[in-house]
Amino acid sequence: MEFDPSGWSGEGTFTAALVEQLKTFDSIDLVRVEDAPSSRTDADYNFISNEVYVRFRRVSSVEAGRWLGVVPVRRTVWKPVMTLGDLESRLAALADVGAPDYADEGMLQYLRTERIIPPYQTRGYKIVELVRIYHLIS
Amino acid sequence: MSILGRNVSVKAVAALACAMIAVAGLLPVRTKARPREVVLVAKDMAFYMSGTNVANPEITVRPGESIRVVLKNEDRGMAHDFSVPAVKAATDSLTWNQKGEVTFEAPEKPGTYEYVCRPHVLMMKGALKVIRD
């Protein structure tokens, strides 16, 4: 399994936990994490936005077909062993990750918020962490 | 010159037309100016003025000016809206790739008001500045 955190500052405790889980999946052969350009900080909040790209391991199979509908041919086809939907189910079953807040055919999205109140302060600030998981085709 | 079978002088018709134009000019014009359009995009948990990359930009308006805000939600997986609580105006909640609009009149009193996305008030809020020319 290849792990590429070169584009990630390391911010985001949920992202870190999620990535550690993804690294243990046999069906994933690449995990790349990047800071999203939308990360920003204000007096009231710290918005951390990360993007995680995963590539699923692929297996080959030989399929029979007919060239121009006449000549019998055999082709080698590479197919991923997992889909984003399968990944969603696997992650949903993990206690420290859970089901995504949003999922479609191309992305899983987690949104986590946490209020931090430093010592001697009453209001504190909010950490908002947005993680989007995309399926890397190539 | 004959109108409806009666002979009327050209001078009389011209005088009547001039009088009607003069009276019409004195009447107050009741047509309303078209609202100024502001196009916003919601993405990455912030508002952006279309074509710029400043998050939650300041919108400057004149007192009582009619404004139409068009919002496009480009935030995949998030529902956003645009609301100005001071004038009780808001778009519908918009899902990804949906577009909505709201037309409102800016407050008459100059000052700084707030515009927000109601589900994400903490991160999606900006200033609506009402300034006299």
Tokens matching residue A81: 């062993």
- Interatomic CA distance for residues A79 and A127, integer angstroms: 39
Of B76, B78, B122, the CB nearest to A126: B122
CA B77 to chain centre: 29
- Interatomic CA distance for residues A111 and B45, integer angstroms: 11
- Interatomic CA distance for residues A37 and B2, integer angstroms: 79
pLDDT for A39 equals 82
User: B77, A38: Cβ pair inside 8 Å?
Assistant: no
Q: Which helix (H) or strand (E) holds B25?
A: helix B10-26
Instruction: Provide the ipTM.
Output: 0.71
pLDDT in tens, chain B (133 residues): 666 666 767 777 777 776 777 666 655 554 567 899 999 999 989 999 988 888 999 999 999 999 999 999 999 989 999 999 999 999 999 999 999 999 999 999 999 999 999 999 988 999 999 999 7
Q: How many C-beta neighbours within 10 Å does residue B73 have?
A: 24
pLDDT for A125 equals 86
Helices and strands in chain B, H and E counts: 1, 11
* CB contact A44 to B (< 8 Å): yes
Residues of chain A with pLDDT under 50: none
pTM: 0.75
* CB contact A41 to B (< 8 Å): no
Closest CA to A127 of A63, A47, A71: A47
Closest CA to B131 of B105, B117, B111, B114: B111
User: A102, B44: Cβ pair inside 8 Å?
Assistant: no
